[in-house]
Amino acid sequence: MERVSQSKPAGTLIHAPEITPDELQLAVRNHSMPLEALRYPITPLGLHYLLIHFDIPLVDAATYWLAVAGHVDKPLRLTLEDLKSRPATTLAVTLECAGNGRARLSPRPLSQPWLGEAVGTAEWTGTRLAPVLQEAGLKKGALEVVFTGLDRGVQGGIEQFYERSLSVADATHDDVLLVYAINGQALPPQHGFPVRLIVPGWYGMTHVKWLRSITVTDRPFDGYQQAAAYHYRTVEGDRGVPVTRMLPRALMVPPGEPDFMSRTRFVEPSTQIVEGRAWSGLAPIERVDFSSDGGRSWSAAGLEEALSPQSWRRWSARWDATRPGEYELCVRATDASGNVQPLEQSWNLEGVQNNAVQRVRVVVGAPDGRQIAADLR
Protein backbone atom coordinates (compact mmCIF):
# COMPACT_ATOMS: atom_id res chain seq x y z
CA MET A 1 0.00 0.00 0.00
CA GLU A 2 2.04 2.93 -1.25
CA ARG A 3 -0.69 5.42 -2.15
CA VAL A 4 -3.83 5.64 -0.06
CA SER A 5 -6.86 7.90 -0.53
CA GLN A 6 -6.59 11.19 -2.38
CA SER A 7 -3.51 13.36 -2.08
CA LYS A 8 -4.31 16.55 -0.22
CA PRO A 9 -2.24 19.62 -1.00
CA ALA A 10 0.40 20.44 1.60
CA GLY A 11 -0.45 23.12 4.13
CA THR A 12 -4.15 23.25 4.89
CA LEU A 13 -5.05 26.71 6.11
CA ILE A 14 -6.81 27.50 9.30
CA HIS A 15 -8.31 30.89 9.91
CA ALA A 16 -8.97 30.73 13.63
CA PRO A 17 -6.29 32.53 15.61
CA GLU A 18 -6.52 29.89 18.35
CA ILE A 19 -4.02 27.09 18.27
CA THR A 20 -5.68 23.71 17.55
CA PRO A 21 -5.12 20.52 19.58
CA ASP A 22 -3.39 18.99 16.51
CA GLU A 23 -0.93 21.88 16.35
CA LEU A 24 -0.40 21.74 20.10
CA GLN A 25 0.39 18.03 19.84
CA LEU A 26 3.02 18.75 17.18
CA ALA A 27 4.41 21.61 19.25
CA VAL A 28 4.94 19.47 22.34
CA ARG A 29 6.54 16.64 20.33
CA ASN A 30 8.88 18.98 18.44
CA HIS A 31 10.55 21.74 20.43
CA SER A 32 12.42 24.83 19.30
CA MET A 33 15.66 26.23 20.73
CA PRO A 34 15.18 28.63 23.65
CA LEU A 35 16.51 31.98 22.42
CA GLU A 36 18.92 32.32 25.37
CA ALA A 37 20.76 29.31 23.88
CA LEU A 38 21.96 31.66 21.11
CA ARG A 39 24.75 32.46 23.60
CA TYR A 40 26.48 29.16 22.77
CA PRO A 41 28.38 28.83 19.48
CA ILE A 42 27.54 25.10 19.57
CA THR A 43 24.03 24.42 20.84
CA PRO A 44 24.10 22.07 23.84
CA LEU A 45 22.51 18.79 22.80
CA GLY A 46 19.09 18.94 24.47
CA LEU A 47 18.59 22.57 23.39
CA HIS A 48 18.90 21.97 19.62
CA TYR A 49 15.49 22.16 17.92
CA LEU A 50 13.73 18.95 16.86
CA LEU A 51 11.39 18.06 14.03
CA ILE A 52 10.02 14.54 13.66
CA HIS A 53 7.19 14.00 11.15
CA PHE A 54 6.12 10.50 12.21
CA ASP A 55 7.52 8.34 15.08
CA ILE A 56 11.14 7.96 16.15
CA PRO A 57 12.10 4.50 14.84
CA LEU A 58 13.77 1.99 17.16
CA VAL A 59 17.03 0.83 15.57
CA ASP A 60 19.38 -1.96 16.63
CA ALA A 61 22.90 -0.80 15.74
CA ALA A 62 24.16 -4.40 15.75
CA THR A 63 21.96 -5.45 12.83
CA TYR A 64 21.71 -2.07 11.07
CA TRP A 65 22.99 -1.54 7.56
CA LEU A 66 22.59 1.23 5.04
CA ALA A 67 21.86 0.25 1.43
CA VAL A 68 23.42 2.21 -1.43
CA ALA A 69 21.68 1.03 -4.58
CA GLY A 70 19.76 1.97 -7.71
CA HIS A 71 21.51 3.33 -10.78
CA VAL A 72 25.00 2.23 -9.62
CA ASP A 73 27.61 -0.31 -10.77
CA LYS A 74 28.19 -1.89 -7.38
CA PRO A 75 25.43 -1.71 -4.74
CA LEU A 76 26.79 -1.40 -1.18
CA ARG A 77 25.59 -2.51 2.24
CA LEU A 78 27.28 -0.41 4.92
CA THR A 79 27.11 -1.30 8.60
CA LEU A 80 27.63 1.34 11.28
CA GLU A 81 31.15 -0.04 11.77
CA ASP A 82 31.83 0.23 8.01
CA LEU A 83 30.83 3.90 8.11
CA LYS A 84 32.91 4.59 11.23
CA SER A 85 35.98 2.96 9.70
CA ARG A 86 35.92 5.40 6.76
CA PRO A 87 37.75 8.77 7.03
CA ALA A 88 35.91 10.95 9.57
CA THR A 89 35.03 14.64 9.25
CA THR A 90 33.57 16.97 11.88
CA LEU A 91 31.73 20.11 10.78
CA ALA A 92 29.90 22.80 12.75
CA VAL A 93 26.62 23.22 10.85
CA THR A 94 23.60 25.43 11.49
CA LEU A 95 20.26 23.71 10.84
CA GLU A 96 16.94 25.52 10.57
CA CYS A 97 13.48 24.16 9.82
CA ALA A 98 11.95 25.54 6.61
CA GLY A 99 8.75 26.16 8.59
CA ASN A 100 10.47 28.44 11.09
CA GLY A 101 8.26 31.54 11.51
CA ARG A 102 5.11 29.74 10.27
CA ALA A 103 3.00 30.56 13.32
CA ARG A 104 3.48 34.31 12.73
CA LEU A 105 1.48 34.05 9.49
CA SER A 106 -2.17 34.99 9.24
CA PRO A 107 -4.10 32.96 8.24
CA ARG A 108 -1.87 30.28 9.72
CA PRO A 109 -0.95 27.18 7.69
CA LEU A 110 -1.84 24.12 9.79
CA SER A 111 1.44 22.37 10.60
CA GLN A 112 4.19 22.56 13.21
CA PRO A 113 3.57 26.05 14.69
CA TRP A 114 7.10 27.45 14.95
CA LEU A 115 7.45 31.06 16.06
CA GLY A 116 11.08 31.76 15.11
CA GLU A 117 13.39 29.53 17.12
CA ALA A 118 13.52 26.30 15.07
CA VAL A 119 17.30 26.41 14.74
CA GLY A 120 20.47 25.03 16.27
CA THR A 121 24.14 24.55 15.52
CA ALA A 122 25.88 21.26 16.20
CA GLU A 123 29.24 19.67 15.55
CA TRP A 124 28.35 16.75 13.32
CA THR A 125 30.81 13.89 12.82
CA GLY A 126 30.61 11.40 10.00
CA THR A 127 32.06 10.46 6.66
CA ARG A 128 31.74 12.27 3.34
CA LEU A 129 29.02 10.99 1.01
CA ALA A 130 30.85 11.68 -2.28
CA PRO A 131 33.48 8.91 -1.88
CA VAL A 132 30.71 6.44 -0.90
CA LEU A 133 28.82 7.25 -4.10
CA GLN A 134 32.08 7.05 -6.05
CA GLU A 135 32.72 3.58 -4.63
CA ALA A 136 29.24 2.46 -5.66
CA GLY A 137 29.92 3.95 -9.10
CA LEU A 138 27.21 6.16 -10.61
CA LYS A 139 25.96 4.74 -13.89
CA LYS A 140 25.60 6.93 -16.95
CA GLY A 141 22.34 8.85 -16.73
CA ALA A 142 22.39 9.10 -12.92
CA LEU A 143 20.25 12.15 -12.14
CA GLU A 144 19.24 12.24 -8.48
CA VAL A 145 20.05 10.58 -5.18
CA VAL A 146 17.10 9.63 -2.96
CA PHE A 147 17.60 9.45 0.81
CA THR A 148 15.05 7.30 2.62
CA GLY A 149 14.48 7.23 6.37
CA LEU A 150 13.32 4.26 8.43
CA ASP A 151 10.37 6.28 9.74
CA ARG A 152 7.02 5.73 8.14
CA GLY A 153 3.64 7.46 8.33
CA VAL A 154 0.87 9.15 6.41
CA GLN A 155 0.98 12.75 5.20
CA GLY A 156 -1.21 14.41 2.59
CA GLY A 157 -3.20 11.14 2.44
CA ILE A 158 -0.11 9.24 1.26
CA GLU A 159 1.57 6.47 3.21
CA GLN A 160 5.32 6.93 2.93
CA PHE A 161 8.77 6.56 4.33
CA TYR A 162 10.20 10.03 5.01
CA GLU A 163 12.36 10.60 1.93
CA ARG A 164 13.95 13.43 0.02
CA SER A 165 16.24 13.67 -3.00
CA LEU A 166 19.14 15.81 -4.16
CA SER A 167 20.57 16.26 -7.66
CA VAL A 168 23.79 14.29 -8.22
CA ALA A 169 25.67 17.62 -8.24
CA ASP A 170 24.26 18.64 -4.82
CA ALA A 171 24.66 15.15 -3.32
CA THR A 172 28.34 14.92 -4.32
CA HIS A 173 29.26 18.31 -2.85
CA ASP A 174 32.28 17.95 -0.57
CA ASP A 175 30.35 19.14 2.55
CA VAL A 176 27.64 16.49 2.42
CA LEU A 177 28.09 13.98 5.25
CA LEU A 178 26.68 10.71 6.52
CA VAL A 179 26.87 11.42 10.26
CA TYR A 180 26.78 9.16 13.29
CA ALA A 181 27.77 11.62 16.05
CA ILE A 182 26.65 15.03 17.32
CA ASN A 183 28.72 17.21 19.67
CA GLY A 184 31.08 14.29 20.26
CA GLN A 185 28.36 11.78 21.22
CA ALA A 186 26.54 9.04 19.32
CA LEU A 187 23.42 10.44 17.65
CA PRO A 188 20.53 10.26 20.10
CA PRO A 189 17.32 8.61 18.82
CA GLN A 190 15.58 11.95 18.16
CA HIS A 191 18.40 13.29 15.95
CA GLY A 192 18.57 10.23 13.66
CA PHE A 193 20.37 7.31 15.32
CA PRO A 194 22.30 5.55 13.94
CA VAL A 195 23.01 7.54 10.73
CA ARG A 196 21.65 10.73 9.16
CA LEU A 197 22.40 12.98 6.24
CA ILE A 198 23.84 16.49 6.72
CA VAL A 199 23.70 18.93 3.80
CA PRO A 200 25.17 22.24 5.05
CA GLY A 201 23.31 25.37 4.01
CA TRP A 202 20.02 23.63 3.22
CA TYR A 203 16.81 23.88 5.24
CA GLY A 204 16.19 21.09 7.76
CA MET A 205 13.96 18.80 5.66
CA THR A 206 16.98 17.88 3.50
CA HIS A 207 18.94 16.35 6.40
CA VAL A 208 17.22 12.94 6.36
CA LYS A 209 17.44 11.11 9.71
CA TRP A 210 17.49 7.34 10.42
CA LEU A 211 18.81 6.57 6.93
CA ARG A 212 17.77 3.15 5.59
CA SER A 213 18.80 3.59 1.95
CA ILE A 214 20.44 5.82 -0.60
CA THR A 215 19.07 5.19 -4.09
CA VAL A 216 20.54 6.68 -7.26
CA THR A 217 17.85 7.34 -9.88
CA ASP A 218 17.83 8.23 -13.57
CA ARG A 219 14.61 10.25 -13.24
CA PRO A 220 13.31 13.01 -10.98
CA PHE A 221 12.07 11.72 -7.62
CA ASP A 222 8.38 12.51 -7.09
CA GLY A 223 7.86 11.45 -3.44
CA TYR A 224 5.53 13.49 -1.25
CA GLN A 225 8.18 15.37 0.74
CA GLN A 226 9.91 16.32 -2.53
CA ALA A 227 7.21 17.00 -5.09
CA ALA A 228 4.18 18.05 -3.00
CA ALA A 229 5.59 19.46 0.25
CA TYR A 230 8.31 22.09 0.70
CA HIS A 231 7.31 24.47 -2.05
CA TYR A 232 6.87 28.21 -1.72
CA ARG A 233 3.47 28.86 -3.25
CA THR A 234 0.87 31.50 -2.57
CA VAL A 235 -1.91 30.09 -4.78
CA GLU A 236 -3.52 26.66 -4.34
CA GLY A 237 -2.80 24.40 -7.33
CA ASP A 238 0.35 26.33 -8.26
CA ARG A 239 3.51 24.21 -8.61
CA GLY A 240 5.47 26.73 -6.60
CA VAL A 241 9.21 27.01 -6.09
CA PRO A 242 11.04 24.16 -4.29
CA VAL A 243 12.49 25.06 -0.89
CA THR A 244 16.26 24.52 -0.89
CA ARG A 245 18.79 26.69 0.98
CA MET A 246 18.23 28.74 4.14
CA LEU A 247 17.36 32.40 3.64
CA PRO A 248 19.27 34.81 5.89
CA ARG A 249 18.07 35.28 9.46
CA ALA A 250 19.40 36.91 12.60
CA LEU A 251 18.05 36.24 16.07
CA MET A 252 18.80 38.00 19.37
CA VAL A 253 18.94 36.79 22.92
CA PRO A 254 16.07 38.82 24.41
CA PRO A 255 17.74 41.14 26.97
CA GLY A 256 16.76 41.60 30.62
CA GLU A 257 14.31 39.31 32.38
CA PRO A 258 11.05 37.89 31.02
CA ASP A 259 7.48 37.96 32.13
CA PHE A 260 6.41 34.31 32.56
CA MET A 261 3.39 34.40 30.24
CA SER A 262 3.90 37.16 27.67
CA ARG A 263 7.71 36.92 27.53
CA THR A 264 7.80 40.75 27.62
CA ARG A 265 11.25 41.77 28.83
CA PHE A 266 12.16 44.08 31.73
CA VAL A 267 15.46 45.97 31.77
CA GLU A 268 16.89 48.40 34.34
CA PRO A 269 17.78 51.77 32.78
CA SER A 270 21.34 51.10 31.59
CA THR A 271 23.50 50.54 28.53
CA GLN A 272 22.89 47.04 27.21
CA ILE A 273 24.95 44.80 24.96
CA VAL A 274 22.43 42.89 22.86
CA GLU A 275 23.77 39.75 21.20
CA GLY A 276 22.70 36.92 18.95
CA ARG A 277 23.60 34.85 15.89
CA ALA A 278 22.99 35.22 12.16
CA TRP A 279 23.16 32.73 9.30
CA SER A 280 22.29 32.23 5.63
CA GLY A 281 22.55 29.15 3.44
CA LEU A 282 22.81 31.26 0.29
CA ALA A 283 26.02 33.21 1.00
CA PRO A 284 28.10 34.19 4.04
CA ILE A 285 26.52 36.69 6.43
CA GLU A 286 27.96 40.08 5.63
CA ARG A 287 26.00 42.48 7.76
CA VAL A 288 23.65 42.56 10.73
CA ASP A 289 21.61 45.66 11.65
CA PHE A 290 19.99 46.39 14.99
CA SER A 291 17.01 48.62 15.74
CA SER A 292 15.54 49.70 19.07
CA ASP A 293 12.58 51.56 17.54
CA GLY A 294 10.67 48.81 15.78
CA GLY A 295 12.70 49.01 12.57
CA ARG A 296 12.41 52.76 11.86
CA SER A 297 16.14 53.34 12.30
CA TRP A 298 18.99 50.83 12.07
CA SER A 299 22.66 50.69 13.03
CA ALA A 300 25.28 48.12 12.07
CA ALA A 301 26.03 45.46 14.69
CA GLY A 302 29.52 44.05 15.29
CA LEU A 303 30.19 40.63 13.75
CA GLU A 304 32.49 37.82 14.89
CA GLU A 305 33.99 35.14 12.70
CA ALA A 306 31.91 31.99 12.34
CA LEU A 307 33.24 28.69 13.75
CA SER A 308 32.92 27.27 10.24
CA PRO A 309 31.61 28.53 6.90
CA GLN A 310 28.56 26.28 7.50
CA SER A 311 27.59 27.81 10.84
CA TRP A 312 26.12 31.01 12.22
CA ARG A 313 28.07 34.16 13.22
CA ARG A 314 27.79 35.95 16.54
CA TRP A 315 26.74 39.60 16.38
CA SER A 316 26.43 42.20 19.13
CA ALA A 317 25.13 45.75 19.40
CA ARG A 318 25.23 48.43 22.08
CA TRP A 319 21.78 49.67 23.08
CA ASP A 320 21.39 52.88 25.05
CA ALA A 321 18.49 51.78 27.27
CA THR A 322 18.80 54.63 29.75
CA ARG A 323 15.38 56.23 29.07
CA PRO A 324 12.41 54.46 30.67
CA GLY A 325 9.72 53.41 28.24
CA GLU A 326 8.58 50.67 25.89
CA TYR A 327 10.81 49.54 23.05
CA GLU A 328 10.62 47.09 20.16
CA LEU A 329 14.02 45.61 19.37
CA CYS A 330 14.63 44.21 15.88
CA VAL A 331 17.56 42.59 14.15
CA ARG A 332 18.09 42.05 10.42
CA ALA A 333 20.69 40.00 8.54
CA THR A 334 22.11 40.58 5.08
CA ASP A 335 24.27 38.05 3.23
CA ALA A 336 27.07 38.52 0.70
CA SER A 337 24.65 37.94 -2.19
CA GLY A 338 22.56 40.90 -1.01
CA ASN A 339 19.71 38.78 0.41
CA VAL A 340 18.16 40.71 3.28
CA GLN A 341 15.43 39.80 5.76
CA PRO A 342 12.03 41.35 5.04
CA LEU A 343 10.25 43.49 7.65
CA GLU A 344 6.89 41.92 6.82
CA GLN A 345 5.84 38.28 7.12
CA SER A 346 6.32 36.37 3.90
CA TRP A 347 2.94 34.64 3.61
CA ASN A 348 2.62 31.37 1.67
CA LEU A 349 0.40 28.28 1.79
CA GLU A 350 2.81 25.98 3.63
CA GLY A 351 4.32 28.66 5.83
CA VAL A 352 7.88 28.03 4.67
CA GLN A 353 10.82 30.44 4.34
CA ASN A 354 9.23 33.12 6.52
CA ASN A 355 12.38 34.97 7.55
CA ALA A 356 10.74 38.24 8.62
CA VAL A 357 12.78 40.13 11.24
CA GLN A 358 12.44 39.16 14.90
CA ARG A 359 10.69 41.69 17.17
CA VAL A 360 11.23 41.72 20.93
CA ARG A 361 9.17 43.91 23.26
CA VAL A 362 11.19 45.42 26.11
CA VAL A 363 10.07 47.65 28.99
CA VAL A 364 12.90 49.79 30.39
CA GLY A 365 12.64 50.66 34.09
CA ALA A 366 8.91 50.20 34.61
CA PRO A 367 8.03 49.20 38.14
CA ASP A 368 4.30 49.09 37.18
CA GLY A 369 4.94 46.59 34.45
CA ARG A 370 7.03 44.52 36.78
CA GLN A 371 4.28 44.53 39.38
CA ILE A 372 1.83 43.25 36.78
CA ALA A 373 4.27 40.50 35.88
CA ALA A 374 4.75 39.59 39.53
CA ASP A 375 0.97 39.43 40.10
CA LEU A 376 0.70 36.91 37.30
CA ARG A 377 3.03 34.44 38.99
When asked if residue 191 is in the footprint of ligand MTE (CB under 6 A), the reply is yes
Residues 335/285, Cβ–Cβ less than 8 Å: yes
Q: Which is nearer to ligand MTE, 188 or 258 (CB)?
A: 188
> Residue 77 CB: number of other CB atoms within 10 A?
11
What kind and span of H or E run contains 219? none
Assign residue 157 a region (left: φ > 0; alpha: ψ between -120 and 50; beta: otherwise).
left
Stretch that binds ligand MTE, among 200-208, 268-276, 293-301, 353-361 (CB under 6 A): 200-208
Segment near ligand MTE (CB under 6 A), from 10-18, 45-53, 137-145, 287-295?
45-53
At closest approach, how far in Å is the CB of 21 from Mo ion? 21
CA dihedral 171, 173, 175, 177 (to 10 degrees): 30
The answer to whether 51 contacts Mo ion (rule: CB under 5 A) is yes
Residue 49 contact, options Mo ion, ligand MTE, none, Cβ 5-8 Å cut-off depending on partner type: ligand MTE
Q: d(Cα 345, Cα 22) in Å, to the nearest integer?
A: 23
- CA triplet 268, 269, 271: central angle to 5 degrees? 105
Confirm or reject binding of residue 229 to Mo ion (CB under 5 A): no
Of 86-94, 204-212, 325-333, 355-363: span binding Mo ion (CB under 5 A): 204-212
CA dist., res. 324 & res. 216, Å (int): 62
Distance, in Å, from the CA atom of 80 to the CA atom of 86, rounded to the nearest integer, reads: 10
162: CB partners within 8 A, 6+ apart: 53, 54, 148, 149, 151, 152, 153, 208, 209, 225
User: Using the rule CB under 5 A, is 11 a contact of Mo ion?
Assistant: no
Residues in contact with ligand MTE, counted by CB under 6 A, come to a total of 18
- Which residue lies nearest ligand MTE, judged by its C-beta? 204
274 touches ligand MTE by CB under 6 A = no
204 makes contact with Mo ion (CB under 5 A): yes
d(CA 270, CA 255): 12
Partner from Mo ion, ligand MTE, none binding residue 50, C-beta < 5-8 Å depending on class: ligand MTE
Site for ligand MTE contains 279 (CB under 6 A): no
Residue at 232: amino acid letter = Y
Q: Which of residues 66-95 bind ligand MTE (CB under 6 A)?
A: 95
**3 state SS of 158:** strand
- Please report whether residue 97 would count as binding Mo ion according to CB under 5 A: yes
Contact footprint for ligand MTE (CB under 6 A): 48-53, 95, 97, 149, 151, 162, 191, 204-205, 207-210
Contact footprint for Mo ion (CB under 5 A): 51, 97, 204-205
